[in-house]
Amino acid sequence: MLLSTSGLTKTFGGITAVDGVDFSLEEGELCSVIGPNGAGKTTFFNLITGELEPTSGMIEFDSSTAGRTEITNADPATTARLGLHRSYQITNVFPTISVLENVRIAVQAHSGTDSWQFWRNVNSFNDHFEEAYGILERIGLAEDAETDAQNLSHGEKRSLEIGIALAGEPDLLLLDEPTAGVSSEDISRLTTLIDNVATDHSIMLIEHNMDIVMDISDRVIVLDSGELIADGVPAEIRDSKRVQQAYLGGYGDDATDTDDGTESGVASG
């Protein structure tokens, strides 16, 4: 078991954002986390990565470097060192340096021996540049290596974030709404990239586009008002009456266009 939570709970005053969640993730799975607005999805990620401390419950992670470890009260730096990396809803790259440098810095930061050698000429880090360029080839940004990150499209910045996360050779990659605000053309490239990364990495994905969820997920869990209400393969989740009720209409062949041009079967929030 790569990751497990037991009775994981987070309350804010009188509000329970995550409510007694028992969850486990097998190594190699691509698991999507879905749910309506306020379901507790991002709070769940924040608890796993140490950005929030649980009110109660336990989190364990099977790190390739440290073995099975309780991370219930670990901070984000600790969880990252153990191999649990994350991207965020808001893009988080260095905008005024090149795409290559963004990834090279991440590679150096996770190298161990060179991570604090600030005054060494960067041109001497040949191995880091080679690894960074290899990552850019994988994420489809090799031709933009010398481009300042701020000049990338939104979808390309999302791909760069995944590349930065891959630089740390994570055991588990958590992606928080990677396709939010991305153009339809970039969504296709981004989902292809996520599918490719899933061939050799475990992934947890918060996603609102149900077409993407149903297409690329090995497994889907559904949160509603902080509770885990469904857990299964995409077809089971699609056909679940309880999930359909949570989405006030659900997802399926009868999804219809709304006035704003979106489908009623696409999750929001």
Helix (H, G, I), strand (E, B) or coil at 35: coil
Residue 148 lies inside a defined structural domain of this protein: yes
Q: Cβ(222)–Cβ(228) under 8 Å?
A: yes
Q: Which residues lie across from 227 on neighbouring strands?
A: 224
Average pLDDT over residues 162-190: 92
Average pLDDT over residues 118-147: 82
Q: What percent of the chain has pLDDT over 70?
A: 86
Over 50: is that where the pLDDT of 157 sits?
yes
Residue 130 lies inside a defined structural domain of this protein: yes
Binned at pLDDT 50, 70 and 90, residue 126 comes out as confident
The reported pLDDT for the residue numbered 256 is: 35
Binned at pLDDT 50, 70 and 90, residue 113 comes out as low
Q: What is the CATH number of the domain that holds 44?
A: 3.40.50.300
Residue 29 lies inside a defined structural domain of this protein: yes
Residue 228 lies inside a defined structural domain of this protein: yes
Over 50: is that where the pLDDT of 138 sits?
yes
Q: Pick 128 or 158 by higher pLDDT.
A: 158
Residue 232 lies inside a defined structural domain of this protein: yes
Average pLDDT over residues 104-123: 64
Compute the half-sphere exposure of residue 66: CA atoms within 13 Å on the CB side of its CA.
Answer: 15
**pTM across the whole model:** 0.85
| Domain count for the chain | 1
Q: How far apart are CA 260 and CA 159, in angstroms?
A: 27
Q: How far apart are CA 42 and CA 47, in angstroms?
A: 9
Average pLDDT over residues 134-145: 96
Q: Among 12-21, 139-148, 199-208, 240-249, which is the least confidently predicted range?
A: 240-249
Residue 263 lies inside a defined structural domain of this protein: no
The reported pLDDT for the residue numbered 52 is: 97
Residue 184 lies inside a defined structural domain of this protein: yes
**pLDDT 10s digits, 250-259:** 455 444 333 3
Query: Which domain range does residue 32 map to?
Result: 3-246
* Triad 24, 26, 27: Cα angle to 5°: 140
Residue 262 lies inside a defined structural domain of this protein: no
Q: What percent of the chain has pLDDT over 90?
A: 73
**pLDDT 10s digits, 200-252:** 999 999 999 999 999 999 999 999 999 999 999 999 999 999 999 888 554 55
CA neighbor of 28 nearest in space, from 57, 59, 1: 1
